[in-house]
Amino acid sequence: MNKEMLNQAINEAPMFNGAPMDTLKKYLAECKTHRLQSGQVLIAPGEQNKFIYLVLSGSLSIHLDNQKSPSIRTVKVGGTVGELSLINSGKTSAYVISNNISNILIINRKSFWSIVNKMPIIARNLLEILSSWIVATDKTTLEHQRHIQELEGIALVDGLTGINNRRAFDNMLTRFLNRSTYGKHPLILIMIDVDYFKIYNDTHGHIGGDQALIALAATLRDTVRPGDFVYRYGGEEFAIILPNTRLKQCRNVAERVRQAVINTKIFMPDGSPLPSITISMGVAESILTENSEVDLKQRADKKLYEAKESGRNKFCM
């Protein structure tokens, strides 16, 4: 064993802080050392662990999910791994991998408890180490959860218009239909299509077309009632879900939306004006015995087709 390497590790080891060095070295001198190659797995999940490993040189990283998942902790010279599973005689729950060529000191269970019984301060140090590690792991887990939630939120938002997208629409429609069937509360689905959008796009370019869609999304969002939901379904198609609403209550909403779109001002990014647009809408009410979003959408699409075929800039229900 390299005594200089061992002395450095002991001096930097939080677990041995305050322990009598001469006594400690006597116990540790009986432990074996092991050399790890870069990328070598020292511990894998599900193993019965019987050792604590003290890093003498190099460094180790800990990974929760798999070997390629982000590291939750790096263990440098003086750091230890394997403490918790050795103490509770449980199985390991993470990967420990060597980041480079590393040397470790292997402390078996018998030697560890002999050291703790001889020097109780090590038990206190170890408690502090495990507490800080648990807190750090919880913070990392929460941070990962926050990132996941942010990504899920981004995945539900249309990148161009900033309103919810088709995926969000599908999820919400299913949820509201289930609630509608169970609670006997009808809902309205309005499918919307921009009139002659291809001509508009060809005439004013994709930037002009995008500006029209952005303006339309903002108008729909600002015009519907509180509690109604607006989505970009795809391309120039949009959708509105009106919970707890019947057809006779929807007529005023649909007309207000139609008029608002006609009066919406559209501008290029440089501020130059663009022509206004109109929309066609198909309106359908859920049937209490119907629990299929496909059926409801098909009926709304059929009414949308009628609106387009009968002159556009109108709604059919």
* CA angle in degrees (0–180, nearest 5) for 104-106-109: 155
Structure tokens at 302: 């059929």
Report helix, strand and coil shares of the chain as percent, to nearest 5: 45, 25, 30
Please, what is the average pLDDT of the chain? 86
**Which of 11-15, 106-110, 174-178, 210-214: highest mean pLDDT?**
210-214
Q: Which of 236, 237, 285, 306 is catalytic?
A: 236
- Distance of CA 78 to CAs 31, 75, 202, 279, 313, Å? 15, 8, 68, 69, 74
Domain locations in the chain? 3-150, 166-316
* Residue from 228, 247, 234 nearest 176 by CA: 228
The dotted CATH code for 166-316 is: 3.30.70.270
Q: How many residues does the chain have?
A: 317
Q: What is the pLDDT of residue 183?
A: 56
Helix (H) or strand (E) run with residue 131 in it: helix 121-155
Burial (CB < 10 A; 0-12, 13-18, 19+), residue 230, is buried
* Residue from 38, 37, 45, 40 nearest 95 by CA: 45
Q: Is 12 among the catalytic positions?
A: no
Q: What is the pLDDT of residue 151?
A: 52
Q: Which pLDDT tens digit goes with each residue over 99-151?
A: 999 999 999 888 888 888 888 888 888 877 777 766 555 555 555 556 555 55
Q: Which pLDDT tens digit goes with each residue over 46-99?
A: 888 889 999 999 999 998 778 888 888 899 999 888 887 887 777 888 899 999
Structure tokens at 292: 């299929």
The dotted CATH code for 3-150 is: 2.60.120.10
Distance CA 19, CA 8 (A): 14
Residue 153 has pLDDT above 70, yes or no: no
Q: How far apart are the first and last CA of the chain?
A: 86
Per the listing, tokens 């798999």 go with 66
Structure tokens at 234: 């795809």
* CA angle in degrees (0–180, nearest 5) for 22-55-44: 135
Burial (CB < 10 A; 0-12, 13-18, 19+), residue 154, is exposed
Residues with Cβ within 8 Å of residue 299, at least 6 apart in sequence: 284
- Rounded to an integer, the average pLDDT of 6-11 is 84
